[in-house]
Chain A
Amino acid sequence: MKHRFKFKKLAFAALILVFWLFVLFSVQCLIVPKYQTGIVEGSMIEEYYDEELDHEVIMVGDCEVYENISTIELWKEYGITSYIRGSAQQLTWHSYYLLEDTLRYETPKVVVFNVLALKYNEPQSEAYNRMTLDGMRWSSSKVNAIKASMIKDSVDKETGKVKEGENFIDYVFPMFRYHSRWSELSADDFKHIYTKNKVTHNGYYMRVDSKAQEDFPPPELLYDYKFGDNAMKYLQMMTDLCKEKGIELVLIKAPTEEPYWYDQWDSQMVKFAEENELSYINFIPLQDEIGLDMSVDTYDKGLHLNLSGAEKFADYFGKWLVENHDLTDYRENPEYSEVWQEKVEDYEKAKEAQFKEIAEYGKIVSLGPIETKENSIVKNLIVLAVLAALCLTLVACNTSSTTEESVNSTSSEAAQTSETVSKNEPAGTPVAKNNGYVMAVNGVNVSIDAPMASLLEGLGEPTKYYESESCAFQGLDKVYTYGSVIIRTYPIDGVDYVLNIELKDDTVTTVEGLAIGDAKSKVTSLYGEPTDSNDSAVRYVKNGSVLTVFLTDGVVSAISYSSEDSI
């Protein structure tokens, strides 16, 4: 009798514990960003785990892969079973660990890696880290990926304040990171509390709209064109992993021209591929051969391909894959064919839906899920209601939550964009490096990280202006040309900050009096001994800002200002 009573008590305690753990889990599910409308990249990585069948081709990389290659077209044309494990600003170590993670589930014949990410040698942004890493299933690969990616604490040289970095524990318990979203929860958060809709077609993110490519601004001058050791280390690890597993690694540079792919970078890739006996294809010079017409095959003025471009590129690249690798045409295989037929149907439906929206609104307004099979607010509310009822029975407490169904709209997209980015960015907005180097443009002192809006009036009308969707940030990258000076900006939380300043010719001089065409000795006499130098440039660092003077045959050939953070 006593034992039974004790057992009953224990069982009751266990029930309470399980119940509240479930509530805690549900609250965590509710509070984390869903990435189902607007910025959907955060949903991409986890979709892979729903795949029923293996793939012969796995592609890893950033937007240059998941927006430029149609996996469905590869199937339709060649019967290639492929998947893109890609996410926004996916860095080389992200790709390595995602590949390692993928190889736990399957061993493809070919792995494709897009090399643009090599330009980044250090973790860049918490927001993008989370978009890539949150979707990964827990494994040693995820743990190592987090460790390799976390933004570290840093001290702002200007203000002396510590900029908080990332904590591993925040990945284990995302509630610690996202709890402050409680006041911004939307209908989407309730709708997708337990389940999400797919946003890609085997990793391919579809956009059918079109915006013709325009002239890109001149490429930014770099102090050092050598890829960083850290990025190259992970590329080597990827190479070794593929060799160990008997997988053929193919390095590609997608056919889009912006962000700029320097010849120096290309040479390094050619050399690396030769040394490691890999295939490397730079598709930029092959645009015509592929059949790309950048006046119609891009949706964002040339940064990424739209559906038409992605299908053309898939046709070309698929042909190369089939010709150069021992791939199987699975279209005749009933098992594969049945699964892929469903994917094709979803693809066609999504295509149709996007075209319909363009016809109706002139643009795509719902950059959201491509399936609507099992999620509904009603269903999730039922789950919550059951929970509440259970809670009522247990403690006679009342818990309820109501949500309203909402339609996707551009305003809700915008809201999610700002919400996701503002909450994901580590604390601290840029601080203008006023005490660093400044460049006088049209009588206005321009410093790195200064808010551009405060300078625009004084600077007057630019002689040339260019803007494009930012790849590294959320918003628009802008390039202002004022006579012989180029000012580039980057966006954070809707505010544009000065990224760098470049002097184009000898008609302008720096505040200190240096101009293009001056001798190297003048540089030293004006600025003293450089902080560091290489064969073609000298660099000066002052209060977080960097002045780089490029030299050709002992003469100043270019001058640029940038942030120390970018070194």
Chain B
Amino acid sequence: MLFNSLPFVCYLILTLVLFYVIPKKAQWPFLLVASYAFYAIADWRYLVFIATTTVSVYLVARKVEKINLEQKEYIKLHKSELTKEEKQKYKNKMKAKRWKWLLLCLFFNLGILAVTKYTNFVLHNVHNIINDAAEFKPVDMIVPLGISFYTFQSLGYIIDVYRGKQEAQKNIFKFALFVSFFPQLAQGPISRYGDLAPTLFAEHRFERKTVTSGVMRILWGYFKKVVIADRLITGVTTLIGNTDEYSGAFVFVAMLFYAFQLYCDFTGGIDITIGIAEAMGIKVAENFNLPYFSKNIKEYWNRWHITMGTWFTDYIFYPISVCGPMLKLSKWSREHLPKGIGKRVTVYLASFAVWLTTGIWHGAAWNFIVWGLMNFVVIMVSQELEPLYAKFHKKVHIKEKAFYGVFEIVRTILLMSAIRMFDCYRDVPMTFKMVGTMFTDFDFSVFTNGELLNIGLTTADYAILLIGFAVVLAVSLFKLHGVDVRERLYNKPFGCCYHIMAALQIVILVYGAYGVGYDPSQFIYTQF
């Protein structure tokens, strides 16, 4: 049941109505049933996987918390009897116990993720290495919907419980809802238990403003996904799929189209997710903050897929940075390497691990790994060149000028879009080759000779895309200047927001790229 399918829309309407009709106490259990039903409709076998993760993480979290409490109790009881060393020894012993449980849980769940998602990738590479003449036949594996999202969300929870930052949930059904909450199951965001739980399990009474605001955001998400992203698919697929025919300037067009498509696809999906939750009074973490207004790649990653970025920072970057061997290495490098470099070695190593994992998380293919590492390289290089930039800006005073800000934004968009071509072509050498043609074979006449009308997009499609782009840009600019468009519309007289919503709905129905002649497309991030 794709978000952009009619059955899902019907399912959603029914769920929303029932959510407010049933007694408030039954709201969260109802959501659990609705979430499991949603998952079962996709494929009932998926339930086995999500239930396994839920039960294993729940039990280990309870166990870890029990050890925590045991430790606290013991220390409280024997406070006067224990020496400092004995206390530390006891703490270390208990920590090791918790650590064992945590490791067990991490290995078990990451194992499930690795086996389901990466078996074929590993086998294929082994097959290539041993140079087997026979054609590689992939193993028919079930890859449960959203497994990367719910696994990471659950592991974030167990790590927080391990660190004592989060109390373990005692009710397994509540925890099951946290793992399986259906709007965010397919493509995130990766919520933290502490952020989601308070409103997820609370009782919600129908409030017109909340529901209106949520529905408005859902419609906005559908507009971006169905009218813009799905319309662009045709062009992008044609340009990417015919590498012999479309090189040079066409690669540039494909690059920009894909950047816009991915933005509308992913942010549209997240808008739908957050909108659904909001309509039920549930707060889900924001995942985007105007990423295409970023002035450098580091800022971009602070604004794009925020929940994933912070997850990797909190649960991979920091633990690696402060682990024993890294601290030793840090000490060594500071002593033996030049001043500036020595300080940064461990940071870069931790960053490397983060970006490698980010690449692997996105997909079981080399193109994703290279894509992740390319991000790492660009960030590292730009950080290393920072003193040079500073010197330049000291001499040339353009940093405060408005045009330079625009230049930085455009530069970041182009850079990010270029790196994303690995995701597009899904073939590393081919990506390098095609990106290269942008510099060796760029023909400007492509923009005027009508060839862009032969890629499956008509003049009318371009007109819709142009208008769509203008609307998205306008809304983004409002947001940039601190204007909450939905709030403003809601406060306008004569039910203005309802008219806008109805009009938007008709726009989606009429101008949406769906039905016969269009391939039903799932959200790109659902595949990760």
Are A and B associated in one complex? yes
Residues of A within 8 A of B (CB): 12-13, 16, 20, 23-24, 27, 31, 126, 164, 169-170, 175-177, 179-180, 182-183, 391, 394-397, 423, 426-427
Query: How many A-B residue pairs lie within 8 Å, measured between CB atoms?
Result: 64
Contact, CB under 8 Å: A395 / B499: yes
Contact, CB under 8 Å: A31 / B494: no
- B21 in the interface, Cβ–Cβ < 8 Å? no
Tell which of B498, B509, B512 touches A16, judged by Cβ atoms closer than 8 Å: B498
Complex interface: chain A residues within 8 A of B460 (CB): 182-183
* Smallest CB separation, B523 vs chain A (Å): 19
Contact, CB under 8 Å: A23 / B502: yes
Whole-angstrom CA separation of A12 from B514 in the bound complex: 33
A20-B499, A183-B460 known; A31 vs B510 contact (CB < 8 Å): yes
**CB-nearest residue of chain A to B517:** A427
List, sorted by A's number, 11 A–B pairs whose CB atoms are closer than 8 Å: A12-B495, A16-B498, A24-B506, A27-B510, A175-B509, A176-B515, A180-B518, A182-B511, A183-B460, A391-B499, A427-B516
- B496 in the interface, Cβ–Cβ < 8 Å? yes
CB-defined interface of B416-444 with A at 8 Å, one 1/0 digit per residue?
A: 00000000000000000000000000000
Could you tell me which residues of chain B, from 476 to 511, have a CB within 8 Å of some CB in chain A?
A: 494-496, 498-499, 502-503, 505-506, 509-511
Complex interface: chain A residues within 8 A of B509 (CB): 24, 27, 175-176, 179
A31-B510, A175-B509 known; A180 vs B515 contact (CB < 8 Å): yes
Tell which of B495, B503, B515, B517 touches A13, judged by Cβ atoms closer than 8 Å: B495
Contact, CB under 8 Å: A177 / B515: yes
- B92 in the interface, Cβ–Cβ < 8 Å? no
Contact, CB under 8 Å: B515 / A395: no
Size bracket of the B interface = 20 to 34
Complex interface: chain B residues within 8 A of A13 (CB): 495, 498
Complex interface: chain A residues within 8 A of B502 (CB): 16, 20, 23-24
Interface of B is mostly: helix
Contact, CB under 8 Å: B458 / A183: yes
A164-B516, A177-B516, A426-B516 known; A395 vs B511 contact (CB < 8 Å): no
**CB-nearest residue of chain A to B501:** A20
Complex interface: chain A residues within 8 A of B390 (CB): none
* Smallest CB separation, A423 vs chain B (Å): 8
Contact, CB under 8 Å: B458 / A397: no
Whole-angstrom CA separation of A412 from B273 in the bound complex: 45
Whole-angstrom CA separation of A264 from B527 in the bound complex: 56
Residues of B within 8 A of A (CB): 6, 458, 460-461, 494-496, 498-499, 502-503, 505-506, 509-512, 514-518
Tell which of A169, A179, A397 touches B6, judged by Cβ atoms closer than 8 Å: A169
Tell which of A12, A176, A180 touches B517, judged by Cβ atoms closer than 8 Å: A180
Tell which of A27, A126, A179, A395 touches B496, judged by Cβ atoms closer than 8 Å: A395
Complex interface: chain B residues within 8 A of A426 (CB): 516
Contact, CB under 8 Å: B494 / A395: yes
* Smallest CB separation, A185 vs chain B (Å): 11
3 closest Cβ contacts across the A-B interface? A183-B460, A20-B502, A395-B499
Complex interface: chain B residues within 8 A of A24 (CB): 502, 505-506, 509
**CB-nearest residue of chain A to B508:** A179
Contact, CB under 8 Å: A182 / B510: yes
Excluding A126-B516, A177-B515, 5 further A-B contacts by CB distance (< 8 Å) are A16-B498, A20-B502, A180-B517, A183-B461, A391-B499
Complex interface: chain B residues within 8 A of A177 (CB): 515-516
Whole-angstrom CA separation of A444 from B460 in the bound complex: 41
Tell which of A16, A27, A176, A395 touches B506, judged by Cβ atoms closer than 8 Å: A27
Contact, CB under 8 Å: B510 / A170: no
Contact, CB under 8 Å: B499 / A16: yes
Complex interface: chain A residues within 8 A of B512 (CB): 179
Whole-angstrom CA separation of A426 from B519 in the bound complex: 12
Tell which of B499, B505, B510 touches A397, judged by Cβ atoms closer than 8 Å: B499
* Smallest CB separation, B106 vs chain A (Å): 39
* Smallest CB separation, A183 vs chain B (Å): 4
Complex interface: chain B residues within 8 A of A27 (CB): 506, 509-510
Contact, CB under 8 Å: A176 / B6: yes
Whole-angstrom CA separation of A217 from B170 in the bound complex: 81
* Smallest CB separation, A154 vs chain B (Å): 14
Whole-angstrom CA separation of A387 from B518 in the bound complex: 32
Whole-angstrom CA separation of A395 from B502 in the bound complex: 12
* Smallest CB separation, B103 vs chain A (Å): 44
Complex interface: chain A residues within 8 A of B503 (CB): 397
**CB-nearest residue of chain B to A24:** B506
A183-B458, A394-B494, A395-B499 known; A23 vs B506 contact (CB < 8 Å): yes
Complex interface: chain A residues within 8 A of B505 (CB): 24
* Smallest CB separation, A200 vs chain B (Å): 28
Complex interface: chain B residues within 8 A of A394 (CB): 494-495, 499
Whole-angstrom CA separation of A397 from B458 in the bound complex: 29
**CB-nearest residue of chain B to A184:** B460
* Smallest CB separation, B230 vs chain A (Å): 12
Complex interface: chain A residues within 8 A of B494 (CB): 394-396
* Smallest CB separation, B232 vs chain A (Å): 15
* Residue with the greatest number of chain B CB neighbours at <10 A, chosen from A126, A183, A394, A395: A395
* Smallest CB separation, A10 vs chain B (Å): 12
* Smallest CB separation, B400 vs chain A (Å): 40
* Smallest CB separation, A425 vs chain B (Å): 8
Complex interface: chain A residues within 8 A of B517 (CB): 180, 423, 427
Whole-angstrom CA separation of A165 from B509 in the bound complex: 20
Complex interface: chain A residues within 8 A of B458 (CB): 183
**CB-nearest residue of chain A to B6:** A169
Whole-angstrom CA separation of A180 from B503 in the bound complex: 17
Complex interface: chain B residues within 8 A of A12 (CB): 495
**CB-nearest residue of chain B to A181:** B510
Contact, CB under 8 Å: B499 / A179: no
Complex interface: chain A residues within 8 A of B515 (CB): 170, 176-177, 179-180
* Smallest CB separation, A161 vs chain B (Å): 9
* Smallest CB separation, B466 vs chain A (Å): 14
* Smallest CB separation, A173 vs chain B (Å): 9
**CB-nearest residue of chain B to A161:** B519
**CB-nearest residue of chain B to A21:** B502
Complex interface: chain B residues within 8 A of A396 (CB): 494
**CB-nearest residue of chain B to A20:** B502
Complex interface: chain B residues within 8 A of A126 (CB): 516
Complex interface: chain B residues within 8 A of A395 (CB): 494-496, 499
* Smallest CB separation, B453 vs chain A (Å): 13
Complex interface: chain A residues within 8 A of B511 (CB): 179, 182
Whole-angstrom CA separation of A330 from B90 in the bound complex: 109
Whole-angstrom CA separation of A265 from B330 in the bound complex: 91
Whole-angstrom CA separation of A179 from B516 in the bound complex: 10
Complex interface: chain A residues within 8 A of B499 (CB): 16, 20, 391, 394-395, 397
Whole-angstrom CA separation of A27 from B502 in the bound complex: 12
Whole-angstrom CA separation of A223 from B515 in the bound complex: 36
* Smallest CB separation, A391 vs chain B (Å): 8
Contact, CB under 8 Å: A179 / B498: no
Contact, CB under 8 Å: B495 / A16: yes
Complex interface: chain B residues within 8 A of A170 (CB): 515
Whole-angstrom CA separation of A170 from B517 in the bound complex: 14
Complex interface: chain B residues within 8 A of A182 (CB): 460, 510-511
Complex interface: chain B residues within 8 A of A397 (CB): 499, 503
Complex interface: chain A residues within 8 A of B506 (CB): 23-24, 27
A23-B502, A164-B516, A426-B516 known; A179 vs B495 contact (CB < 8 Å): no
